Structure 1
Amino acid sequence: MDDKDTLLDYLRTQRAGLLSKLDGLDEYDARRPMTPTGTNLLGLVKHVASVELGYLGEVFGRPADRDLPWFADDAEVNADMWATPDETREQVVALHHYSAEHSDATVQALPLDAPGDVPWWGEEHRHVTLHQILVHVCVETARHAGHADIVRELIDGVVGRRPDDPNIPAIDWPAYRERLEAAAREAGTAATRP
């Protein structure tokens, strides 16, 4: 497997992990904001799909044939980070699949040293290569997949990349959490002693 295939494989794995966080949730739970800044699962999927269309499309002169109104100059701030009641889960997931196919086609069509232009990065950093952007998109997707992991755990306690994830130990989670809480309190108390 060459470098391009390796990066694309990691990106595909992260995409699948992100999408899996929607599995089994109703509309409310897929959309509800779980952090003070409004982070929600469907919004993360919408955002990642939108970002990929920019970085692995427009940056390399391969714009998508989809209109993303949440990126218009007059769009509401953070409109790509949540789904309106008129945007269905199916539409957002379909956008994610479309974005992945469009991005994969760009990656497969170009060499890793293909030049691109990211105007929103400013004059000093705007000239990039496919390799650089592919790494950037892998990191961006993994970051948001991590957010989705935490959001899903907050919603219903589901953890891991899939129900039988071997990386998640079978332990008494409430007791484990209490042990960590006690350790944090002890360390916090020790740090405040003269």
Structure 2
Amino acid sequence: MPMTEKEALQTYLQRSRDALLWKLEGLSEYDIRRPLTPTGTNLLGLVKHAIGVEIGYFAFTFDRPYPEHVPWTEEDAENNSDMWATADESREFMVDLYKRVWAHADATINDLPLDAPGFVPWWGPERGQVVLHQIIVHTTADLQRHAGHADILRELIDGTVGMRVDAPNMPPGDESYWTSYRAKLQDVAESFK
């Protein structure tokens, strides 16, 4: 039997969450925290950011307060405090918190109809009036974007690639294939110097 619209939306949202967490698996605390871009993007920071995203869109927007205090979601939080984990914020803490947050988000999705109204204050009065369907799509797109960031970071750390552990979504190829492939792309790029 085909999925309902809500089931389909929740399936893709959950796949986004799972992809993001999978990128942490098997890495050291150092590797999940180290900044790999000029703006400091790091794997655990992406998970921390996702926590705030889901609280913002599924708790605040629909007046369904999240029961735990999450400092980086407060209005007076330091800039970018949602993009990196402090030394006191362990991987286990972040992953467990994220799972509790997504359970709260899922309860919002399960309890409300797709046309349930909400308000996103940071979008302003003209765009802030939303419905649950729109927020599920928006949040899934945001998490997919960050899962893509995580894909690249993980490949830079240890070469691990793929969409999900059960569906890598990559063409087959060993190290020599990828070395040759990359060299071919580099040759094409060099032709434009």
TM range (shorter): over 0.9
The structural deviation recorded for 1:70 is 1.6
Alpha-carbon distance in structure 2 between the residues aligned to 1:141 and 1:40: 15
Matched, 1:6 2:11: no
Alpha-carbon distance in structure 2 between the residues aligned to 1:111 and 1:99: 20
Percent of aligned pairs with the same residue? Answer: 56
Give the equivalent residue in structure 2 for 1:181. Answer: 186
Alpha-carbon distance in structure 2 between the residues aligned to 1:165 and 1:35: 27
| Letter in structure 1 aligned against 2:18 | A
Check whether the contact 2:56–2:73 (CA below 8 A) recurs between aligned residues. no
Report the aligned-residue RMSD: 1.2
Give the equivalent residue in structure 2 for 1:192. Answer: none
Q: Please, what TM-score do these two structures have when normalized by structure 1?
A: 0.93
Alpha-carbon distance in structure 2 between the residues aligned to 1:134 and 1:72: 22
The structural deviation recorded for 1:34 is 0.7
| Letter in structure 2 aligned against 1:121 | W
Matches within 5 A, 1:1-194: 1-162=3-164, 165-171=167-173, 172-186=177-191, 188-189=192-193
The structural deviation recorded for 1:31 is 0.6
Check whether the contact 1:45–1:96 (CA below 8 A) recurs between aligned residues. yes
The structural deviation recorded for 1:22 is 0.4
| Letter in structure 1 aligned against 2:78 | E
CA 10–164 in structure 1, closer or farther in 2 if over 3 Å, else same? closer
| Letter in structure 2 aligned against 1:96 | Y
Alpha-carbon distance in structure 1 between the residues aligned to 2:166 and 2:110: 32
Q: Please, what TM-score do these two structures have when normalized by structure 2?
A: 0.93
Equivalent residues, number: 188
Structure 2: which 5+ residue stretches go unaligned?
Answer: none
